Each structure stands twice: as C-alpha cells, then as structure tokens.
Amino acid sequence: MNEERVNDLSARITQFRPDPVASSGSASSASSEDWETPVPLSRLSDLPAFPVQGLSDWVRAFVEAEAEATQTPVDMAAVFSLAGIATVAASHVEVEPVDGWREPVNLFVACAMEVGSRKTAVHRDSTAPILEYERLLVQESALPITEAASLRRIATLLLAKIEKQAASAKNNLDRLALEEEARVAADALERLADPAPPRLFTDDATPEALATLLHQNGGRMAVLSAEGGIFDLMAGRYSKGIPNLDVYLKGHAGDPLRVDRRGRTPEFVDRPALTIGVAVQPFVLMKAARLDDFSGRGLFARFLFSMPAGNVGYRKTSPAPVPADVRAAYNTNLKALASSLERGLTILRLSDEAGTLLTAWREELEPRRRPDGDLGHIQGWSSKLDGATVRIAGLLHLAVTYTSGFEKPIAGLTMQAAIEVARYFVSHALVVFDHMGADPHLEGARRIVAWLATGDRTRFTKRECHVALRARFKKSSELDPALALLADHGWIRLLPGEHRPGRPSTVFEVSPELVVQNPRNARNSP
C-alpha cells in the first residue's frame, strides 16, 4: 500500500475523536449494503498458475501430463523441469544480455506445498532423465577413473620408498640426491588426477560436502529434493546451529569458492554453478525465515518461490498416466540437451527485440522497489529479479533451440515468455514473504483481524485493541499502520463522533464481512 496513504490515515486516526462510549458489540453496525466488498489481506486466492504456454513443446507436454497423472498443480512439475534444465546447463551456459553483464543459468527454486501433495512422485519423474544421464557418465568414466587410481597408488608407493631411502641414507650426497628425487616424485603425484565418479545432483549434503562435490565436478552441482532438509543443513544441523551459507551464496552468484580444511587439500572452484530445486512444506520456510542469517545475508533473496493452491480432496482417483511418448520425449530430449552442452562454455546473447523487452521489464520493476511500491518490502529479492529473468530466458531458449543450434540469439518470444514466468514468481514471492513476516504491517493487520473475529465485534476502540494486543504492539501508535492497512482494504472504517467527558478514544466500525473470521463460521479468512 502507498506509504502516503498509510501516513494520511494514521493522521486521521489521531485527529478524529469519535464517541468513546461506543465499544465492541455496544451497537449494531451499519447494514452490509453500506459496505463495499473488502480486499483480501492474503493474495493466496489470486495466485496465478505457472504459465506453461511459454515452455517448449516437449517440456510443456510433460508438465501438463505429469500434473494430470499425479493430480498436482502444473506449478510443481514446471518448477522441477526448470531446475532440471538448469542442472544440466549450469557452468556450461551463460547469458550476456549487454556487454559486461553475464548471468549463469543455475537457479534456486522452491515449491511450497503441504504434506500429501505428492511432491515425491513429481520430483522422481522430473529428475529421472538426469539420474539416467548421470549413470551414463559414471559408466563412461569408470575405466579412466580406475586407471587414474592405479597410477596414484603406484606414485604413492614410489614416493614412500624414496622417502624411506632418503631417511636411511649413509652420507649427505646420497641423502641430497634422494631428497631431490622425492621432490620430483611428490610433484608428479600432485599432478596426477584423483577423479571421483561424476555427479549431477544430490538431495542431502552438508555445506562442506556440497563444496567438495562442486570441486569434484567442475563447479557444477545441484540439490534436487522433494523435502526441505537442505534448510536444516544450511542452518547448521551438524555444526552446532551455526549457519554455513557461503557455498550457497557463492554457488548462486558464481563467485570464486575456496575451502581450506585442516589436513586436506584446498578445494578451489573458480566459477561455481549451484542449482537448487526443492519442494518443501510451507512451515519449513516459515521456520527458516526466523533465522537472521538467512534474511540478513540474502539467502532467500536468491530463491524463486512457488506456492500453488493445494487440491487434496478434489483429485481424481483414477487419472490418466503420462503417455509413453510424452515421457520418452522428455527423457530423451533432456539427456540430449545435457550431452550437447558438454563441449564447453556457450555464451548466449539477446536479439534486438529480446533486449528491448528486457529493458522495458527492468524499467517497470525499478519504481516498484521504492518503499511505497508493492515490492518495496522485498527489495533484496526484487533486485535479483532482473538477473533471474535473464537466467530463465536462457533456459527456455536452450529447451527450444538445442536441436537447431542454441548459439543463435534469444528471440523476443522467448524473452516475453521468461518475463511472464518472472511475473508468476513475483506473485508467489509476495505471498511467501508475507507468510514469512516480511511485511510487518500486514502481519499486524492479520493479528487485529484474528482478535476482531474471535469476539464477533461490530465496533471497537483503538484503546481496546491496544490493551488486547499489547504483546504485539508495545505502543498504541504502533497500531496505526496496521489499522490504516485494514481501512484501506475495507475491513474497518473510522466512526466520527463527539467529545464526551473523560479520555477520548478512536472508534472503528467493522465490516459485516469480518464475521466470517469467527471460528464458528466455515468461510475463508481475509
């Protein structure tokens, strides 16, 4: 809500001196015809579905069929598919929208749904081709890894033998010669590769193990899971509750990562590209949001959030399975895309039309980040949306053009589709951050609504509200922004009154619609 409107109503709240005798339930409220329908405090009911029309044909066909087969919203399969493409493309593709600005294509995405939403099935089906491709890489690398391990064992034994001889040398000349030979052998051992079986993703790894996986796999790694355990690991489940976020922050941005541990060889990754694609229960995000490190260091600012409406209780019991040809096309194409990207780094650029659309999108976003804009309370997240849009455009482009040559510029239609996906994530992020308490005025308004609903109040004074909610609002003036928000949304309105003996108080009338908040009623909350 516009800050000027909050200040204006706050001023009016202070200036008005309505009838202090009027209080909760002391008089009947105005008839419902006098009130307009209030604006919901929650955006959840208005959330858009994922714009699947912007996906390539083979991805869209799979997403829609998977949603039908599992009886889940299309959002979950779409989000996991984006994460899947990012998994295979990360570290191999970057987008350069303008000279000097490059974006990798790895993503952090989280889909929040309640227990029983069949997250595991969608995760399994969406990541199946990635797992198959990883197995193929392991098979192809088995012989070279075995040979390299053998050479390292031989070199290790040789070095140990030379060191033993040097330690027992009878004269200085022999010892010096053996010491030089040992240095040569040690250098040769250091140069020998110690490869690990290739990995594309994990679903449960500590930050330290994740850094090692990035190091062992050329800077590319993904965390793909149907659970939210990664947030517990980030929070320090195995490190006495001390969060370790560096690998995630640097892995998203592509900043150099160096890990030094006592007794181990330093691990250095020049351009880490970490992808995260998880389905979590909403309470996991709420719990994680209470950690200062997560918000203070910008971890959540890097995530694209999806919170589709649940459909438990409305699902078909015998839905059609994913058609065999649709599943085969998805699996084959994703593996083919992964294979085509293995040859090195590809830089994608924008067509003139795509560049114009991106510029217009960025110009639209910037004023919305002002304190009085709809993205003002999530400036950190929205400031990364420009780059996220570019990353999404790169992924959509790869899925469309991998057979015809993805080196061609990103088309205007692809950029427009990416912007629509970004708009989708904006809507969902606002809801997620609202639930995480990013907007304190909205949270305060909800507290007032809950108090009003439990008492079937038709009128109330500001003084009554403050007394009842003193634990949340230490000073009565702290109520003003929340009351202004409720009035602006049409849930309450000021009652003008006259001065009477005693200390005056501000009186509000409550919308008849608020009766639905009473626990005895079965309708939805605002």
Q: What is the pLDDT of residue 284?
A: 80
Mind listing the pLDDT tens digit for each residue in 272-321?
999 999 998 887 887 777 776 676 678 889 999 999 988 888 899 999 99
CA–CA separation, 416 vs 409, rounded Å?
A: 14
* Sequential DSSP letters for 259-303: E--TTS--EEESS-EEEEEEEE-HHHHHHHHT-HHHHHTTSGGGE
- Looking at the DSSP bridge assignments, the partners of residue 200 are none
- Does residue 254 sit in helix, strand or coil? coil
Helix axes of 324-340 and 119-167: crossing angle, nearest 10 degrees: 30
CA–CA separation, 422 vs 428, rounded Å?
A: 10
Mind listing the pLDDT tens digit for each residue in 402-433?
888 888 999 999 999 999 999 999 999 998 88
Residue 111 has pLDDT above 90, yes or no: yes
Name the nearest CA neighbour of 91 among 270, 278, 277, 299: 270
- Looking at the DSSP bridge assignments, the partners of residue 156 are none
The separation between the first and the last C-alpha atoms of the chain, rounded to the nearest angstrom, is 16
Distance of CA 156 to the CA centre of its chain: 45
Q: What is the pLDDT of residue 504?
A: 62
In this structure, the number of other CB atoms found within 10 A of the CB of residue 387 comes to 18
Give the β-pairing of 459-461 and 507-510: antiparallel
Q: Which residue has the higher pLDDT, 301 or 443?
A: 301
- Can you read off the two tokens belonging to residue 298? 């910008």
Domain spans, the chain? 142-191
The model's confidence at residue 265, banded by pLDDT at 50, 70 and 90, is: confident
Name the amino acid, one letter, at 148: A
CA–CA separation, 447 vs 56, rounded Å?
A: 44
Q: Which residue has the higher pLDDT, 25 or 133?
A: 133
Residue 26 has pLDDT above 80, yes or no: no
510 within 8 A of 491, measured Cβ to Cβ: yes
> What is the pTM (predicted TM-score) of this model?
0.75
CA–CA separation, 478 vs 472, rounded Å?
A: 9
- Can you read off the two tokens belonging to residue 362? 């960025």
Burial of 26 (0-12, 13-18, 19+ CB in 10 A): middle
- Can you read off the two tokens belonging to residue 338? 């992964």
CA–CA separation, 208 vs 230, rounded Å?
A: 13
211-215, 216-220, 381-385, 449-453: least confidently modelled range: 449-453
506 within 8 A of 487, measured Cβ to Cβ: no
CA–CA separation, 390 vs 298, rounded Å?
A: 19
Q: What is the pLDDT of residue 382?
A: 96
* Sequential DSSP letters for 28-71: PPPPGGGSPPPPPS--GGGPPPP-GGGS-HHHHHHHHHHHHHHT
In this structure, the number of other CB atoms found within 10 A of the CB of residue 275 comes to 29
Kind plus residue range of the DSSP H or E element containing 448: helix 440-454
Q: What is the pLDDT of residue 304?
A: 97
Mind listing the pLDDT tens digit for each residue in 450-496?
888 887 788 899 999 999 999 889 998 889 988 988 988 888 998 87
Mean pLDDT of the chain: 84
Q: What is the pLDDT of residue 99?
A: 94
Highest mean pLDDT among 214-223, 232-241, 349-358: 349-358
Give the β-pairing of 303-306 and 459-461: unpaired
Q: How many residues does the chain have?
A: 526
Mind listing the pLDDT tens digit for each residue in 503-522?
567 899 999 887 654 544 43
What percent of the chain stands above pLDDT 70?
85
78-87, 190-199, 363-372: least confidently modelled range: 190-199
424 within 8 A of 376, measured Cβ to Cβ: no
- Can you read off the two tokens belonging to residue 97? 């929208």
